[in-house]
């Protein structure tokens, strides 16, 4: 495998949260949150898992890939995670970096009543990095990202609803204490779209 297929525009470690744009049959790009599992060894592919029969899963099968992008705007993460967001362009205006990827299905199964599918993602070489926006640390931002994960599991039988709601309450408090206007706006959208307080 050549280096052009192993180079990502940012360093990946652990599970790196991203937004993936996949082209749908309506010629619009669907935006969805996607956790990227960094490989243990150099040269191995990045892996990701889709849960359920999502637009991302269907578009990966249909198109064979998409565009993975990285942003520090919490509103973009919430929109991608809990709303149906479709755009005419693949790359979001607030993306700090992006790369085109191929997606190959390598495994699938069922956990509880939910189907999952595992993918290997490889950059095609087309991408860019915007270095004009330095990253600053804000606990509220990370609380929003974690909240999108918890909210996305509310209707998944394999996860306990009470535990997820407790997490969301904690994340809400963290956003209020440590977040700025963008984080609070993002969490308000998440709450409105998911109705997690009613669970």
What is the per-residue pLDDT for 131? 62
Whether residue 20 has pLDDT greater than 70:
yes
Q: Are 85 and 71 in contact (CB under 8 A)?
A: no
Whether residue 50 is found in the same domain as residue 99: yes
What is the 8-class DSSP label of residue 153? T
Its sign, for the CA torsion 49, 134, 11, 88, is positive
What is the per-residue pLDDT for 5? 41
Cα gap 80→12, rounded to integer Å: 20
Domain-ending residue, one of 97, 129, 161: 129
Whether residue 100 is found in the same domain as residue 175: no
- The answer to whether position 46 is within a domain reads yes
Whether residue 156 is found in the same domain as residue 59: no
105-160 pLDDT, tens digit each: 999 999 888 899 999 999 997 778 876 666 676 899 999 999 999 999 898 887 89
- The answer to whether position 199 is within a domain reads no
- Our count of domains for the chain comes to 2
Query: Which CATH number do you get for residue 65?
Result: 2.30.110.10
- The answer to whether position 67 is within a domain reads yes
Whether residue 68 is found in the same domain as residue 88: yes
68-86 pLDDT, tens digit each: 999 989 999 999 999 999 9
What is the per-residue pLDDT for 135? 66
What is the per-residue pLDDT for 2? 34
What is the per-residue pLDDT for 3? 37
Query: Which CATH number do you get for residue 182?
Result: 1.20.58.290
Whether residue 15 is found in the same domain as residue 33: yes
Whether residue 61 is found in the same domain as residue 151: no
Q: Which domain holds residue 96?
A: 3-129
What is the per-residue pLDDT for 191? 97
- The answer to whether position 118 is within a domain reads yes
Whether residue 112 is found in the same domain as residue 41: yes
């Amino acid at each position: 495998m050549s280096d052009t297929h192993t180079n990502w525009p940012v360093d990946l470690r652990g599970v790196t949260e991203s937004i993936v744009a996949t082209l749908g049959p309506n010629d619009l790009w669907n935006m969805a949150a996607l956790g990227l599992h960094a490989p243990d060894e150099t040269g191995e592919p990045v892996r990701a898992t889709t849960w359920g029969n999502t637009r991302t899963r269907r578009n990966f099968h249909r198109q064979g890939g998409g565009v993975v992008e990285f942003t520090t705007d919490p509103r973009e993460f919430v929109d991608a995670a809990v709303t149906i967001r479709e755009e005419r362009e693949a790359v979001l205006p607030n993306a700090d970096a992006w790369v085109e990827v191929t997606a190959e299905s390598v495994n699938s199964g069922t956990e509880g009543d939910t189907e999952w599918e595992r993918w290997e993602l490889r950059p095609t070489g087309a991408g860019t990095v915007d270095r004009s926006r330095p990253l600053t640390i804000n606990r509220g931002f990370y609380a929003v990202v974690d909240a999108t994960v918890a909210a996305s599991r509310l209707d998944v039988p394999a996860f306990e609803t009470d535990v997820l709601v407790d997490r969301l309450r904690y994340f809400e408090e963290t956003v209020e204490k440590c977040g700025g206007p963008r984080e609070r706006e993002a969490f308000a959208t998440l709450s409105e779209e998911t109705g997690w307080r009613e669970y």
